[in-house]
Structure 1
């Protein structure tokens, strides 16, 4: 056992196994957050998972028995219906393979990896799987976030209270760092007017003018650990996850108003809307699976156990599958959006700690950071085999695969619509 920081980010000092330890600077912690972290530590110390690799192709059809070696017990309601018959609604309709915006013309195809414990970014050439550049940012960089207009990438330097802008045509920093408060993560409003700095330690969403970076409004949330966001299909509201309180918060972003909270327990992480706009999928690293939240009623309608430390959520390029990174066991689970069922699991050979990343523009490669292993994984979406294991700096986290298909960015590591 090693004394280290546990959780999605950086809060409390607890005893955790060396295989799951984090090494981020600490911050003030509420009692409830400490309890949640201690519970997570006990779960992490449990026996290691022993699932064999299964595979599914990029179109969602299994190439081997997807249930082999998997514990498929669920808490899904017996009558939970599959997704509605496909209609004209598809929130990812502009995110198809190589459907790149004119705004990214001339931009280099690169993978940007923020090394949270090394205050730097490594840049990977996806064609050679080699690190080709490295530069210093501010303290504790957490995510690389594409701007709404797709013309700039921002590194969120959490403990430096700054953003490092990157020019994606050169792959290098441009201009001075931009001062903002506590930028753990960052998103953009669908109209591109505001950048939403997720000030996790302050329990706030800070709305900045996306052009001048002047602070315009602050929304305080009564849920410690706010960190990830996604929008409804009509983009009228957003839902944020609160890791250290086991809650979700629904916000009317146009009027800067909290609409309500939903307690789901555990330690919610990433959140993604399904293509039909009916269900939010919420990864839970403590409950080791994904919650299903009805987008219309804002109620929980199911839970799917995916694997230890469920963390990142990424739709396939054809919007048929949802890739779930199970950080605590070194695997990726595949959820079929249409049936709302797990259809496969890919195991990283030798294990690992897959966290955040993205899918290549052509949909052929899933890229994920190895948070506690100083490495990045490139995984074939055809059959789940590991294409490359790339050494990087310490604490790689919210890496961005760029450019991405889509018209505009909503933020994080590359949520485009």
Structure 2
């Protein structure tokens, strides 16, 4: 008997759903996993029925993003001022934008090479990933004020396990996945990887594994969340592949991996971790963002200044928006009401605000040099899985 991830969530979470929902709202290289062992290490859909212990059940097992509807803010963040936080990698600053006026209201000095601004699992803190500064700068989103940096080595990117227990540091140059206490950032386990450039990830519907992209060796990893171990690894079927952002489909069946070199998406079944298929989108395919109705994925094509629209249900591209005069759309997020897509212009020292109904550019705002993983905050959702905001 084969059960989908949705069925597993239903079977495991029904009895605890009401109670959990109430509480949830308040260096070095390692060996490459053996192919046969990799396939056996994580059970297929038919073998696993429960979610990761401690993970809040989904509001809708058929839609991982059901908690992300327009304006559905957690009580934790409902009084936070709406802001756009832009890490400027080359300027060592974070630019703060008021989305109501499209004006820069503050510039915050941080550590060397800030790459991403990441909401914490409990939604209370924004962590600035100072990659070469080897630190995380906390920002209080209720006040917009930065706190004392926390020493963390090589934090290129940052994620949180679905149970809220661990932060997962993507230590790209160290070639490690570092599991740390989600609050103190004390190391719990450092996991060496044999690929190069670990950078982006997303978690399965049941939270028991996550898929990681390795930019510089063109590989993907599958990591067991509870065991904190790499259990499978594959090379993408294209010489020179450069995988970037990773995002799961609303029903949990598929993972999409942006590839900057290939100019499109790799689409694979996360449970079987088989050979992916490819869908071309545009030059420099880089960032992936889900619309507030869970129907569309916005795909940034950094090398050509466009955003492709992918329809989940139809499994196809339905349109493409072009930035007037070009640009380099990179990372970002969707406004709380779902009406504006905010993106950094990586090579143009600017940020773009785009109307999600028409694709029209609403604003183009000058910021520091090398703007990268900007965060729109607050956003709807009960908890954050990290990056620039993966909320469930």
Same fold (TM over 0.5): yes
Structure 2 unaligned residues grouped into runs of 5+: 1-59
Matched, 1:391 2:363: no
Q: Which residue of 2 aligns with 1:345?
A: 320
Q: Distance in 2 between matches of 1:289 and 1:211?
A: 36
Q: Which residue of 2 aligns with 1:151?
A: 124
Q: Distance in 2 between matches of 1:88 and 1:396?
A: 35
Matched, 1:365 2:340: yes
Matched, 1:415 2:387: no
Q: TM-score if structure 1 supplies the norm length? A: 0.78
Q: Which residue of 2 aligns with 1:233?
A: 205
1:89 positional shift: 1.5
Cα pair 2:207 2:225 within 8 Å, conserved: no
SS in 2 for 1:287: coil
1:88 positional shift: 4.2
Cα pair 1:291 1:300 within 8 Å, conserved: no
Q: Which residue of 1 aligns with 2:285?
A: 310
Q: How many residues align?
A: 330
Q: Distance in 2 between matches of 1:255 and 1:88?
A: 24
Deviates more, 1:179-188 or 1:254-263: 254-263
Cα pair 1:184 1:200 within 8 Å, conserved: yes
SS in 2 for 1:416: coil
Q: Distance in 1 between matches of 2:65 and 2:133?
A: 34
Deviates more, 1:207-216 or 1:237-246: 207-216
* Segments of 4+ moved more than 4 angstroms: none
Q: Deviations over 1:354-377 (max 9, x none)?
A: 000000011000000000000000
Q: Deviations over 1:39-87 (max 9, x none)?
A: xxxxxxxxxxxxxxxxxxxxxxxxxxxxxxxxxxxxxxxxxxxxxxxx8
SS in 1 for 2:232: strand
Q: Which residue of 2 aligns with 1:320?
A: 295
SS in 2 for 1:409: coil
Q: Deviations over 1:2-45 (max 9, x none)?
A: xxxxxxxxxxxxxxxxxxxxxxxxxxxxxxxxxxxxxxxxxxxx
Cα pair 1:283 1:290 within 8 Å, conserved: yes
Cα pair 2:263 2:283 within 8 Å, conserved: yes
Matched, 1:128 2:101: yes
2:133 to 147, 160, 182: 160
Cα pair 1:92 1:275 within 8 Å, conserved: yes
Q: Which residue of 1 aligns with 2:304?
A: 329
Matched, 1:378 2:358: no
Cα pair 1:156 1:163 within 8 Å, conserved: yes
1:316 positional shift: 0.6
Q: Which residue of 1 aligns with 2:47?
A: none
Q: Distance in 1 between matches of 2:100 and 2:127?
A: 23
Matched, 1:284 2:259: yes
Q: Which residue of 1 aligns with 2:218?
A: 246
Cα pair 1:154 1:166 within 8 Å, conserved: yes
Q: Distance in 1 between matches of 2:288 and 2:61?
A: 23
Q: Distance in 1 between matches of 2:61 and 2:94?
A: 40
Q: Distance in 2 between matches of 1:148 and 1:269?
A: 22
Cα pair 1:208 1:214 within 8 Å, conserved: yes
Q: Which residue of 1 aligns with 2:230?
A: 258
Cα pair 2:156 2:169 within 8 Å, conserved: yes
The Cα RMSD (Å) is 0.9
Q: Which residue of 2 aligns with 1:82?
A: none
Q: Deviations over 1:93-120 (max 9, x none)?
A: 1111111111113211000000000000
